[in-house]
Chain A
């Protein structure tokens, strides 16, 4: 029986073997231009950036190499303070988004019926509209003369706009699509009959959520969290437009170092640290996704 294989087993080698040699060459030819461009315009600049972070007086590469930029970046109190603040702002926004995304995903996956698609379309649409415009629109809501201050009686509340509050609110709405979709996808994969079985076995709603919904959706939830942290930690559009001096974030700091300060050394060092953090987070998410066989 060892020599026998099922036709399903044969499926794959069959395809490979079908004019095998020519096809391997085909993959190379087809991938040459996209991958070549990625190497030249994406990988190479990244390497140059890493190089700059070690150069004494960038962009002059003849000035010698040093670790000073990293030392400076990592010991600068302002950087540490901004980094801490960025993590806090991102985490609070994440908490708010999960509070919305979990019930929203649940509703879409199990309760929405024909509204499921409408909600999905709404989320995609909200995500695809010009981000700069979307962020700016919050000024109209939160401003000193905005609709909120108009609705709330009494003196205008000053901290609504140009504040951490504004940044958190805006971030939470900007990334809600990215948070919801992986969770929704994970919940969509759960058989609804599991809930019926649980009810049949006497589980209450709390036990259903704790024992079925959350454990099964957990991979999706973690992946969503990781992959939304990455862009949030480097976001600078939001805090630029609706934030104030008390809400300066890491992305703004790096941008300012490079574009305003012209400090390429510190800028590229910080940028590389963020790249490394993003890369590691992305890898963790990717492994997690693979591990749990949920393609996120």
Chain B
């Protein structure tokens, strides 16, 4: 895909956008490019600037500086009414005095489209969002999930260049949220519309997105595919925000064969790929599912002993938290794939091991330890749309 794609309808470019409210900096220089048809998420804790960024794209906020391009057109100062994007609000904002069909038809009626066309597009949209038969109900008579679909339909019927979704599933219960996640993903693929999705739920973002921008304090901390974010977090914050992660400080005692090692005494050691020969202290992250219980560690494996502090049965896995002599703690996920496997008990001494390659050095920008063929270019945070498109396919 060529880089020109971002100038086609549905392509979006943010150029160093900034926004402050009084003394508060909400967005502190955000830039990214979204290609047409991409499912793009902005993920971060509340107050990270993700909603403000979305509202700048919608036109409800004007950036103090920076530019926003929609399909090759500079819309930074354009009124929200005139932008070819539509939004799905967290609180839905359905019109309670209108029926479902009237809600969906609203945008087309305002644009004064011919009656017949409105009718056929509303009917088509009602099918798309699976609300056939609900046309004459009022929003108050619908369940949360159905209201959600009305809000989606009301936006999608306008065939927006991009659909902006502001934590749209926040009000739904867990089960429904999971269903809607998949449904949203399918909807996005069927309609081939750019979706920009704002959420604080990393699992939600991982499930649906082609690419995710992890945001903190008004800036993009890392931008990449879900896999990149999970396997090669650029910062400790990203590592902590995406999934359960173990952060360990590795003070380099010796370096051999491309491996940096910290000795803990009694043969215990922590190993990591020596990607940055200059530093004496590395921060590494190890995913819980890569750590094994048991002492039969090979020469290229880390080996540490510790005391079990918590054991939590989570269904498919059991989560074991182990306190290390270094004062750090590791979370281990043990797959429950054997009948009668006996979990360790709190207080028990255990030995843990993991492959040196499974220690990911934060900020190294190195290849993913599991995904050796991952594209180096894509792994290093904000790249161009070309890299993004590659990551997506």
* A13 with B218, Cβ < 8 A, contacts A4-B47, A5-B47, A6-B47 known: no
Whole-angstrom distance between the alpha carbons of A44 and B26 in the complex? 48
**Highest count of chain B CB atoms <10 Å: which of A3, A5, A18:** A5
Q: What mask results when residues 59 to 88 of chain B are scored 1 for a CB within 8 Å of chain A, else 0?
A: 011000000000000000000000000000
User: Is residue A191 within 8 Å, beta carbon to beta carbon, of the partner chain?
Assistant: no
A11 CB to closest chain B CB (Å) equals 10
* A3 with B48, Cβ < 8 A, contacts A10-B21, A13-B22, A17-B21 known: no
Whole-angstrom distance between the alpha carbons of A7 and B48 in the complex? 8
Which of B24, B28, B217 is A10 in contact with, Cβ under 8 Å? B24
29 contacts between A and B (CB under 8 A): A1-B217, A3-B24, A3-B25, A3-B28, A3-B218, A4-B24, A4-B47, A4-B48, A4-B218, A5-B26, A5-B47, A6-B46, A6-B47, A7-B46, A7-B47, A8-B46, A9-B24, A9-B47, A10-B21, A10-B47, A13-B21, A13-B22, A13-B24, A14-B21, A14-B55, A14-B60, A17-B21, A18-B60, A18-B61
Q: What mask results when residues 3 to 44 of chain B are scored 1 for a CB within 8 Å of chain A, else 0?
A: 000000000000000000110111010000000000000000
Q: Give chain A residues whose Cβ lies under 8 Å from the Cβ of B46.
A: 6-8
Q: Give chain A residues whose Cβ lies under 8 Å from the Cβ of B147.
A: none
Q: What mask results when residues 4 to 28 of chain A are scored 1 for a CB within 8 Å of chain B, else 0?
A: 1111111001100110000000000
Task: Name A4's closest neighbour in chain B (CB-CB).
Answer: B47
Whole-angstrom distance between the alpha carbons of A4 and B25 in the complex? 7
The answer to whether A5 and B28 touch across the interface, beta carbons within 8 angstroms, is no
A197 CB to closest chain B CB (Å) equals 29
Task: Name A8's closest neighbour in chain B (CB-CB).
Answer: B46
A6 CB to closest chain B CB (Å) equals 5
Task: Name B200's closest neighbour in chain A (CB-CB).
Answer: A7
User: Is residue B51 within 8 Å, beta carbon to beta carbon, of the partner chain?
Assistant: yes
Q: Give chain B residues whose Cβ lies under 8 Å from the Cβ of A18.
A: 60-61
User: Is residue B331 within 8 Å, beta carbon to beta carbon, of the partner chain?
Assistant: no
User: Is residue B52 within 8 Å, beta carbon to beta carbon, of the partner chain?
Assistant: yes
Q: Give chain B residues whose Cβ lies under 8 Å from the Cβ of A5.
A: 21, 24, 26, 47
Whole-angstrom distance between the alpha carbons of A5 and B49 in the complex? 9
Task: Name A15's closest neighbour in chain B (CB-CB).
Answer: B60
- Pairs of residues from A and B, 9 with the lowest C-beta to C-beta distance, nearest first: A13-B21, A5-B24, A4-B47, A6-B47, A3-B25, A6-B46, A5-B47, A4-B217, A7-B51
Apart from A5-B24, A5-B47, A14-B21, 4 more pairs, CB < 8 Å: A6-B47, A10-B26, A14-B55, A14-B61
Whole-angstrom distance between the alpha carbons of A47 and B330 in the complex? 77
Task: Name B21's closest neighbour in chain A (CB-CB).
Answer: A13
